[in-house]
């Protein structure tokens, strides 16, 4: 294992985050805080509690998930696409560095950024509402698994993209709507039975439900099923990345 290569890629990507701190950290935290203030104030005045939890506190796990999923995809997709765009990716591929080490460097840095943002949002939310974390180890597990999974997904997206506009298609037209319809601002138990069934086909429901369970012990679906879906998505992304490196899909041409 070439730890020097992993460290070099990791430090370069982390340095880029601090060079663009306003865009990388301040912007997502500020936008999430605005979501919290607007939805918490406007809807919270009409919905006082959900499953015994105040509405302001209820939406915090969903907002954290919304932020880390979008940031994970954005960070990792840009990190691998920009070297492709400039042509410097060939220097990395021709270096005595394995594909696994390249993956650890890029995805590790992107996941670290997402975890930092998630923790900052959690700390910021605690200034507005009373938060309790009933199962801290489960919370950390879901946080890490989600960050790593969506960073891998973003890595795949960055390799697949052939233009800058393609980097925004999937997050904007697929991930964002699924997140809003995945129980970020409500419990799917509040929906009519038919729509509850439809919601179960949304994979984001399981991520948000499991993460919310770690806070308040309330979940729309079994926490074991949520964890299984998260791990399944992680494995699917790993297999896809393995296939990409094995075939050189959009890397060698």
- pLDDT confidence bin for 209, thresholds 50/70/90: very high
Q: How many CB atoms lie within 10 A of CB 10?
A: 19
Beta-carbon count within 10 A of 121 CB: 23
Structural domain that includes position 61? 3-247
What's the rounded Cα separation, in Å, for the pair 146 and 117? 13
If you average pLDDT over residues 182-194, what whole number do you get?
A: 89
User: Which tens digit of pLDDT belongs to each residue from 116-162?
Assistant: 999 998 988 888 788 889 999 999 999 999 999 999 999 999 999 88
241 is a domain residue? yes
- For 144, the 3-state DSSP assignment is helix
pTM (predicted TM-score): 0.91
Q: For 40-53, what is each residue's pLDDT tens digit?
A: 666 656 667 788 88
pLDDT for 153 equals 95
Does residue 253 belong to any structural domain of this protein?
A: no
Tokens of 113: 């950024």
Q: Residue 183 falls within a domain, yes or no?
A: yes
pLDDT of residue 41: 66
* Residue 119 maps to a domain: yes
Residue 74 lies in a domain: yes
Asked whether the beta carbons of 251 and 244 are under 8 A apart, the reply is yes
Average pLDDT of the chain to the nearest whole number: 87
Per-residue pLDDT band for 1 (boundaries 50, 70, 90) equals confident
Number of domains within the chain: 1
pLDDT for 229 beyond 90: yes
Nearest 5°: CA angle at 163, between 162 and 168?
A: 110
Which distant-in-sequence residues (6+ apart) come within 8 Å of 93 by Cβ? 102, 251, 252
Looking at the domain assignment, is residue 178 inside a domain? yes
Asked if residue 10 is part of any domain, the answer here is: yes
- Three-class secondary structure of residue 53 per DSSP: strand
**Token pair of 9, please?**
């890629």
Helices 55-86 & 3-19, crossing angle to 10 degrees?
110
Per the structure block, which two tokens stand in for 235?
Answer: 């494995």
252 in a structural domain:
no
HSE at residue 198, side-chain half, CA atoms within 13 A, is 7
d(CA 154, CA 176): 14
């Amino acid at each position: 294992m070439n730890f020097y290569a992993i460290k070099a890629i990791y430090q370069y990507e982390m340095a880029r985050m601090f060079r663009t701190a306003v865009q990388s950290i301040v912007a997502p935290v500020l936008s999430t805080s605005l979501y919290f203030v607007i939805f918490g104030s406007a809807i919270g005045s009409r919905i006082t509690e959900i499953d015994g939890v105040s509405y302001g506190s209820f939406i915090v796990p969903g907002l954290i998930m919304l932020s880390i999923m979008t940031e994970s995809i954005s960070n990792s997709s840009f990190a691998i696409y920009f070297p492709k765009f400039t042509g410097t990716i060939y220097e990395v591929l021709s270096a005595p560095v394995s594909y696994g080490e390249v993956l650890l460097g890029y995805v590790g840095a992107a996941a670290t950024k997402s975890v930092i943002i998630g923790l900052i949002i959690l700390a910021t939310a605690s200034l507005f509402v009373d938060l309790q974390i009933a199962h801290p180890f489960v919370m950390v597990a879901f946080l890490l698994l989600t960050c790593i999974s969506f960073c891998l997904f973003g890595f795949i997206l960055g390799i697949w993209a052939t233009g800058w506009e393609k980097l925004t298609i999937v997050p904007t037209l697929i991930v964002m709507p699924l997140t809003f319809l995945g129980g970020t601002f409500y419990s799917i138990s509040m929906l009519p039975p038919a729509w509850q069934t439809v919601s179960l086909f949304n994979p984001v429901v399981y991520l948000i439900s499991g993460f919310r369970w770690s806070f308040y012990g309330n979940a729309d679906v079994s926490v074991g099923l949520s964890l299984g879906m998260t791990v399944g998505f992680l494995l699917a992304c790993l297999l896809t990345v393995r296939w990409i490196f094995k075939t050189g899909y959009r890397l060698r041409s």
